[in-house]
Structure 1
Amino acid sequence: MTPGQAPGNGQAGTWRRLFHRDHRAPVIVLAGGVGLFATNTYVTTSLLPSAVAEIGGEKLYAWTMTVFVVSAVISSMLVSRSLERLGGRSSYLLGFGVFAAGTVITAAAPTMPVMLVGRCVQGLAAGLLAGLGFAVLRLVLPEQLWQRAVALMSAMWGVGNLLGPVIGGFFAQIGWWRGAFVFLAVGSVALAVLTLTSLPAAASRGESPGEGVPWLALVLLASAALLVSVASIESSPLLVAVLVVAASGVAAAFVIRERTTSGPRVLPESTYRGRSPLRWIYASIAVLTLASTIETFIPLFGQRLGGMSPLVAGFLGAAISWGWTVGSIASSNVDGDRGKKLVRVAGPLTVSAGLLGYGALQIAAPSGAIQAGWYLALFVSGCGIGMAMAHWLTAGLKVAAQPREAARVSAGMNTAQLIATAFGSALAGLLVALGGPSLLGSARVLSFGYAVIGVVAVGIAVREFTVARRSGPPPAPAVSDVPPIVRRREARRSG
Structure 2
Amino acid sequence: MTSESPSVHAPRSDSPRFTDLFRDGNAGAVGILAGGFLLAAITMFVTTALMPSVVAEIGGRELYAWPTTIYVVVSIIGVMGVGQALARLGAVGAYLLAFATYLVGGIVCTLAPTMPVLLAGRAVVGLGGGLLSGLGYALVRTVLPQRLWGMATGLISAMFGVGTLVGPVLGGLFAQFDAWRLAFAMIALAGLALGFVAPRALRGHGRTGQVEPFPLGSVALLTAAVAALSVASITEGAARVALLAAAAVLLVAFVAWDRRARSSVLPDSTYRPGSPMRWLMLTNAMLTIAVVSEAFTPLFGQSMAGLAPVVAGFFGAAVSVGWSFFGLLGARAATPRSRSALLIIGPGLLAAGFLGAALTQREPAGPGLAIVWFVLLVIAGAGIGFGFPVLSYATMSNVTDAAEAGKAAATIPLVGLAAQSLGAALAGVLVNAGLPSMPQAAINLFVGLAVLAALGVVTALAAVRRRAVAE
Superposition TM-score tier, normalisation by shorter sequence: over 0.9
CA distance in 2, matches of 1:381, 1:313: 18
CA distance in 1, matches of 2:260, 2:402: 25
CA distance in 1, matches of 2:314, 2:398: 37
1:238-253 counterparts in 2 under 5 A? 238-253=238-253
Q: Which amino acid aligns with 2:170?
A: I
Contact 2:164-2:317 within 8 A present in 1 as well? yes
CA distance in 1, matches of 2:97, 2:277: 29
1:32-431 counterparts in 2 under 5 A? 32-200=35-203, 203-204=206-207, 209-236=210-237, 238-261=238-261, 263-431=262-430
1:27 and 2:68 correspond: no
Contact 2:16-2:334 within 8 A present in 1 as well? no
Identity %: 38
- Residue ranges of structure 2 left out of the alignment (5+ in a row): 1-6
How far off its partner does 1:473 sit? 5.0
Contact 1:324-1:384 within 8 A present in 2 as well? yes
CA deviation profile, 1:429-472 (whole Å, cap 9, x unmatched): 11112223322211111111111011100000111122228xx9
Q: Which amino acid aligns with 1:257?
A: W
CA distance in 1, matches of 2:80, 2:354: 32
How far off its partner does 1:233 sit? 0.8
Contact 2:16-2:332 within 8 A present in 1 as well? no
Give the secondary structure class of the aligned counterpart of 1:335: coil
Give the secondary structure class of the aligned counterpart of 2:307: coil
RMSD: 1.8
CA distance in 2, matches of 1:13, 1:308: 41
Q: Which amino acid aligns with 2:298?
A: P
CA distance in 2, matches of 1:202, 1:313: 44
Q: Which amino acid aligns with 2:221?
A: L
Residue matched to 1:488 = none
Q: Which amino acid aligns with 2:234?
A: I
CA distance in 2, matches of 1:204, 1:185: 26
* TM-score (ref. length: structure 1): 0.90
How far off its partner does 1:239 sit? 2.7
Contact 2:44-2:72 within 8 A present in 1 as well? no
Contact 1:324-1:386 within 8 A present in 2 as well? yes
In structure 2, relative to structure 1, the CA distance for the partners of 1:201 and 1:57 (3 Å cut) is: farther
CA distance in 1, matches of 2:243, 2:204: 44
Q: Which amino acid aligns with 1:220?
A: L
CA distance in 2, matches of 1:10, 1:447: 39
Contact 2:89-2:207 within 8 A present in 1 as well? no
Give the secondary structure class of the aligned counterpart of 2:452: helix
CA distance in 2, matches of 1:306, 1:21: 50
Give the secondary structure class of the aligned counterpart of 1:260: coil
Residue matched to 1:456 = 455
Deviates more, 1:122-131 or 1:175-184: 175-184
How far off its partner does 1:185 sit? 1.6
Contact 1:139-1:203 within 8 A present in 2 as well? no
In structure 2, relative to structure 1, the CA distance for the partners of 1:245 and 1:190 (3 Å cut) is: same
Residue matched to 1:482 = none
Deviates more, 1:121-130 or 1:325-334: 325-334
Residue matched to 2:3 = none
Contact 2:106-2:121 within 8 A present in 1 as well? yes
Q: Which amino acid aligns with 1:287?
A: M
CA deviation profile, 1:204-232 (whole Å, cap 9, x unmatched): 46x6x511111111111111111111111
Contact 1:204-1:403 within 8 A present in 2 as well? no
CA distance in 2, matches of 1:438, 1:224: 32
Contact 2:37-2:160 within 8 A present in 1 as well? yes
CA distance in 1, matches of 2:52, 2:99: 27
Q: Which amino acid aligns with 2:259?
A: R
CA distance in 2, matches of 1:203, 1:289: 31
How far off its partner does 1:193 sit? 1.2
How far off its partner does 1:203 sit? 3.7
CA distance in 1, matches of 2:370, 2:56: 32
* TM-score (ref. length: structure 2): 0.95
CA deviation profile, 1:387-437 (whole Å, cap 9, x unmatched): 101110011111112332111111122211111111111011111122233
Give the secondary structure class of the aligned counterpart of 2:334: coil
Give the secondary structure class of the aligned counterpart of 2:265: coil
Give the secondary structure class of the aligned counterpart of 1:218: helix
CA distance in 2, matches of 1:68, 1:176: 21
CA distance in 2, matches of 1:228, 1:312: 30
Give the secondary structure class of the aligned counterpart of 2:467: helix
Residue matched to 1:479 = none
How far off its partner does 1:148 sit? 1.0
CA distance in 1, matches of 2:91, 2:105: 21
Contact 1:102-1:121 within 8 A present in 2 as well? yes
How far off its partner does 1:240 sit? 1.7
Q: Which amino acid aligns with 1:223?
A: A
Residue matched to 1:481 = none
Deviates more, 1:372-381 or 1:39-48: 39-48
CA distance in 1, matches of 2:358, 2:449: 10
CA distance in 2, matches of 1:287, 1:65: 22
Contact 1:136-1:203 within 8 A present in 2 as well? no
Q: Which amino acid aligns with 1:443?
A: A
CA distance in 1, matches of 2:364, 2:33: 45
1:474-493 counterparts in 2 under 5 A? none
Contact 1:12-1:145 within 8 A present in 2 as well? no
Contact 1:359-1:444 within 8 A present in 2 as well? yes
Q: Which amino acid aligns with 1:328?
A: G
Deviates more, 1:109-118 or 1:139-148: 139-148
- Residue ranges of structure 1 left out of the alignment (5+ in a row): 475-495
